[in-house]
Structure 1
Amino acid sequence: MLLLLLAAPAAFYAGMQWQLQRTAALAAQIKPMAKRLAEQESQLDDLHAQIAVATSGASVAEKANEQNRLTIKLLEEQIFKEQQDLSFYKGVLAPASRREGLRIRTFELQATENPRRFRYKLLLSRVGKDDKPLNGQLHVTVEGSQGSKSKVVLELSSLSQDQFVPFKGALIPYTFKHFKSIPEAGRFAELELPDGFEPSQIRVRAEIKGEKPLERTFKWLNKE
């Protein structure tokens, strides 16, 4: 009887120790992955900056520009795979926080020499093991103020008529499996704000076939 009484807490203690060791091992794997992902994203930002300079500088050869775009595309795919692995390990440690599906990753915005014109790029990604294509459409608006009106909402489609962005009316259709860049291949599209309009944020709403819509807002560029 004494042995039985002692065996129960001993088994409980052993189980707790095994779980702590497993959690520590997973946490140790996450740290270098997160560091590597941050380094890759920093490299991607540098390449985006190079593309922006290349597109505005007539002295840069188009061949070199295309090579940068190809490098960006490959790096974006590598970053996506790293994100998938990182998401998996974080999901093991905190299963309740893991949600598969579409991610509106970022709306990248860059100023130009014209104070009313801006370059932009939208990045989408997907978390999960499903290889079936995601189909849907994006509704992007720019919110701000104009004159006496404190809240004005403008359609991105009315501000940008770029050949690399496939607008259908006010919407941007998309189909992809793992990673989607709009425009594609490291390019940037351009938008132009009307006179007197002061932007405050960008709202991106993704309608996903068979799923609930996803929405995210991004602050406008800091004027400083």
Structure 2
Amino acid sequence: MAGWEVRPSDPRAARRMRLALWMLVLALPAVFYAGGWWQTRHMQVVVEERQSLQVRLAEQEQEVEGLRQRLAVVSSGEKVAQQANEQSRLTIKLLEEQIFKQQQDLAFYKGVLAPASRRKGLRIRTFELQATDTPQLFRYKLLLSRVGKDEKLLEGKLQVTVEGVQGDKQVSLELATLTQGLPDQLDDQVIHFAFKHFQAIPEAGRFAELKLPDGFMPRQVKVRAEIKGEKPLERTFKWIDQE
């Protein structure tokens, strides 16, 4: 039988081949779907990780900012504490000096009220000076007393001058002029007084202020007291050492 070719036939193999082809055809969409799902899932994981990192970064930034603020508060608190401690130290020192000075004044006043001197009448006891942190600005107070048991008012007036050098000239400046514009300025060139036993100028033994002109070098303070009918009384006080 010419033209005919006999080939062995295996129906099972053909079915397996067809099944494999169908499975391949059906698997292609699943593969594409799986690939797309994996890519989507991977992107979702990446986005979630990025969001998580952003959240942690924001929390860390807040923590760092909180630490900075606490550090600033602590630093500021340390400065405030140091300033408070320094202020307390200065206050304690000032109070101790005031207590010591008051003890001295008390002892002095007792001596004034029970003097051993035989000469009666007015005494120019002290002209006290203190330097300040401001150049040419000084604090002062003056104390007058009376010797004797006379209960009548001792009345008179004072003239206080600061003597020194301005340039190459000897200059004498009135105390009233040096107090202008200051809290306890003197309105008159003379200071009037009236007392029985003692008088502080300013009152209550506190200090007033005087300001020297720039370039003026003080040497001494001259206090002159005049009482009607009596010889004027003068006393000179050396200027304090400012070094």
TM-score bucket (shorter structure): 0.5 to 0.7
Greater relative CO, 1 or 2 (CA 8 Å, sep 6+): 1
TM-score with structure 2 setting the length: 0.55
Give 1:164 shift.
Answer: 4.0
Tell me which of 153, 165, 169 is aligned to 2:172: 153
Q: Which amino acid aligns with 1:156?
A: L
Which residue of 1 is the match for residue 114 of structure 2?
85
Cα shift readout 1:76-100 (whole Å, capped 9, x = no counterpart)? 566334334341xxx5xxxxxx211
Instruction: Name the CA shift for 1:126/1:86 in 2 (closer, same or farther; >3 Å).
Output: closer
Q: Which amino acid aligns with 1:110?
A: Q
Which residue of 1 is the match for residue 193 of structure 2?
174
RMSD over aligned Cα atoms: 2.8
Give 1:147 shift.
Answer: 0.8
Are 2:219 and 1:200 equivalent residues in the alignment? yes
Q: Which amino acid aligns with 1:120?
A: Y
Cα shift readout 1:188-223 (whole Å, capped 9, x = no counterpart)? 101111011100000000111232111000000113
Q: Which amino acid aligns with 1:111?
A: A
Which residue of 1 is the match for residue 138 of structure 2?
118
Equivalent-residue separation in structure 2 for 1:217 and 1:79 (angstroms): 20
Equivalent-residue separation in structure 2 for 1:178 and 1:75 (angstroms): 18
Q: Which runs of 5+ in 2 are unaligned?
A: 1-86
Q: Which runs of 5+ in 1 are unaligned?
A: 1-56, 92-97
Aligned residues of 1:164 and 1:184 also touching (Cα < 8 A): no
Aligned residues of 1:111 and 1:117 also touching (Cα < 8 A): yes
Aligned residues of 2:124 and 2:145 also touching (Cα < 8 A): yes
Tell me which of 136, 142, 159 is aligned to 2:162: 142
Larger Rg over CA atoms: 2
Equivalent-residue separation in structure 1 for 2:183 and 2:193 (angstroms): 15
Instruction: Name the CA shift for 1:203/1:130 in 2 (closer, same or farther; >3 Å).
Output: same
TM-score with structure 1 setting the length: 0.59
Instruction: Name the CA shift for 1:218/1:75 in 2 (closer, same or farther; >3 Å).
Output: closer
Equivalent-residue separation in structure 2 for 1:168 and 1:210 (angstroms): 26
Q: How does 1:15-54 map to 2 (within 5 A)?
A: none
